[in-house]
């Protein structure tokens, strides 16, 4: 029986990997799997060698403070992969973890094929990394077509597969009436997947919701959580006795809620594409410690944090970062959009045009699954 080891480093990668493996299981049901993954891969019956949260660290300082733990996890992961002896090592995103593991595995056993999904964002920073990838990656699956030139230049086999979060999904038939009062408008809140992110952003978001509640009782604020961070958010909300809020972790219900939302406030990251694809107007927020921020500013060569803004080279989705990431600024920005439907229409029109330009004509997960099967 053929074997695949799936290597992810955070919840968003776990989700992306699961979309591909779900398709691959249909193409070839006779494959044995093992992973470093979370709830999405676990739901497909794939065991993880340890919990994903054990390697999920945010920012340069957090990584440095936990460097020995991370090195230990890299060692354990490499050992487990070699022991499992897969035909393919399928790594997804989180390059500072997954590609370090892939490089070491390839040195030990050149027969293991290495396929990486979600190319490192060399168009944002550290472009010189690409030369090194040639030594240990057999194939790179690209989310965006404009990334192709960087890998073609170094002769690294690559395929533009598109972004799975931009695939047109079937409309869910879930009834939300038992969860949400029909006379309330939904504002979706995305506080992050890592506990370290949530601990920073949650108090700010809750202060924003308090301000909204004082202004109007017409809205319900739905936190989009994961199974692993749901309790953290619920406990905080209970502690401060915050009204008009709910916390949802079920994927199908979350998708339906997003599609019915009048607005979204989201931490910077992959999830913003999901919001854009659902045609929901939004703003982006993020805050990291000051040392991480200055290091990032020195290394990053683009003006914006969000990919829609980067592609358009202008702030289509407002970005409230660092000092601007506070309850008052979030409140003012959200109120501006809610009071100005034309601004919402302008944002959504630009977003739609941008997504049409970067969306693959075929299913990203299906195309990725086909490429993986070709290496078996």
User: In total, how many domains does the chain have?
Assistant: 2
In a domain, 180, yes or no: no
SS3 360: coil
The one-character DSSP state at 176 is -
Closest CA to 45 of 54, 36, 33: 33
Q: In this model, does residue 360 exceed pLDDT 60?
A: yes
**C-alpha–C-alpha distance, residues 180 and 185, integer Å:** 9
Q: In this model, does residue 76 exceed pLDDT 80?
A: yes
Clarify whether residues 205 and 306 are in a common domain: yes
Q: Which CATH number fits the domain that encloses residue 290?
A: 3.40.50.2000
**C-alpha–C-alpha distance, residues 130 and 153, integer Å:** 9
pTM of the model as a whole = 0.80
Residue 120: per-residue pLDDT: 85
Clarify whether residues 230 and 309 are in a common domain: yes
In a domain, 77, yes or no: yes
Clarify whether residues 117 and 249 are in a common domain: no
Q: What is the pLDDT of residues 11-23, one digit of tens each?
A: 889 999 999 999 9
Clarify whether residues 28 and 48 are in a common domain: yes
In the chain, alpha helices (H): 11-27, 39-42, 60-65, 67-84, 95-108, 129-133, 148-152, 195-215, 230-240, 251-259, 271-277, 290-299, 307-312, 327-339, 341-358, 364-374
Low-confidence winner among 204-208, 262-266, 355-359 (lowest mean pLDDT) = 355-359
In a domain, 53, yes or no: yes
Take residue 47 and report the two structure tokens written for it: 């065991």
Distance of alpha carbon 13 from the chain centroid: 6
Clarify whether residues 224 and 158 are in a common domain: no
Clarify whether residues 307 and 220 are in a common domain: yes
**C-alpha–C-alpha distance, residues 151 and 159, integer Å:** 10
Contacts of 247 (CB under 8 A, 6+ apart): 222, 223, 225, 230, 233, 234, 237
Q: What percent of the chain shows pLDDT beyond 90?
A: 72
In a domain, 172, yes or no: no
In a domain, 177, yes or no: no
Phi, psi angle pair for 10, to nearest 5°? -160, 165
Low-confidence winner among 3-7, 181-185, 282-286, 288-292 (lowest mean pLDDT) = 288-292
Q: Which domain holds residue 109?
A: 2-163+360-374
Q: In this model, does residue 32 exceed pLDDT 90?
A: yes
Clarify whether residues 367 and 335 are in a common domain: no
Q: In this model, does residue 300 exceed pLDDT 60?
A: yes
In a domain, 171, yes or no: no
Clarify whether residues 341 and 364 are in a common domain: no
Q: In this model, does residue 65 exceed pLDDT 70?
A: no
Clarify whether residues 238 and 340 are in a common domain: yes
In a domain, 326, yes or no: yes
Q: What is the pLDDT of residues 102-119, one digit of tens each?
A: 999 999 999 999 999 999
């Amino acid at each position: 029986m053929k074997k695949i080891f799936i290597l992810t480093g955070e919840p968003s990668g776990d989700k992306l990997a699961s979309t591909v493996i779900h398709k691959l299981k249909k193409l070839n049901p006779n494959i044995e799997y093992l992973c470093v993954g979370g709830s999405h891969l676990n739901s497909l019956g794939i065991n993880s060698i340890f919990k994903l949260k054990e390697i999920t660290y945010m920012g340069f300082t957090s990584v440095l403070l936990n460097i020995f733990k991370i090195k230990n996890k890299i060692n354990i992961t490499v050992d487990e992969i070699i022991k499992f002896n897969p035909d393919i090592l399928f790594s997804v995103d989180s390059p500072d973890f997954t590609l370090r593991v892939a490089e070491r595995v390839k040195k030990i056993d050149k027969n293991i094929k290495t396929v990486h999904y979600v190319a490192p964002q060399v168009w944002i920073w550290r472009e010189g990394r690409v030369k090194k990838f040639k030594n240990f990656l057999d194939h790179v699956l690209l989310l965006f077509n404009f990334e192709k030139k960087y890998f073609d230049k170094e002769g690294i086999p690559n395929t533009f597969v598109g972004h799975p979060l931009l695939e047109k999904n079937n409309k869910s038939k879930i009834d939300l009436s038992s969860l949400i009062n029909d006379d309330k408008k939904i504002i979706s809140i995305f506080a992050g997947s890592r506990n370290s992110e949530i601990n920073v952003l949650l108090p700010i978001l809750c202060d924003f919701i308090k301000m909204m509640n004082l202004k109007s009782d017409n809205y319900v604020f739905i936190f989009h959580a994961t199974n692993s961070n749901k309790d953290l958010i619920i406990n905080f909300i209970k502690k401060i006795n915050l009204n008009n809020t709910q916390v949802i972790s079920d994927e199908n219900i979350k998708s339906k809620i997003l599609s019915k939302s009048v607005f979204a406030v989201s931490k910077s990251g992959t999830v913003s594409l999901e919001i854009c694809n659902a045609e929901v107007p939004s703003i982006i927020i993020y805050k990291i410690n000051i040392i991480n921020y200055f290091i990032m500013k020195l290394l990053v060569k683009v003006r914006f944090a969000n990919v829609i803004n980067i592609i358009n080279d202008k702030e289509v989705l407002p970005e409230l970062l660092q000092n601007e990431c506070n309850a008052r600024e979030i409140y003012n920005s959200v109120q501006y959009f809610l009071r100005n439907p034309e601004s919402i229409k302008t944002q959504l029109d630009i977003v739609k045009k941008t997504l049409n330009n970067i969306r693959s004509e075929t299913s990203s997960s299906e195309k990725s699954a086909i490429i993986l099967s070709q290496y078996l």
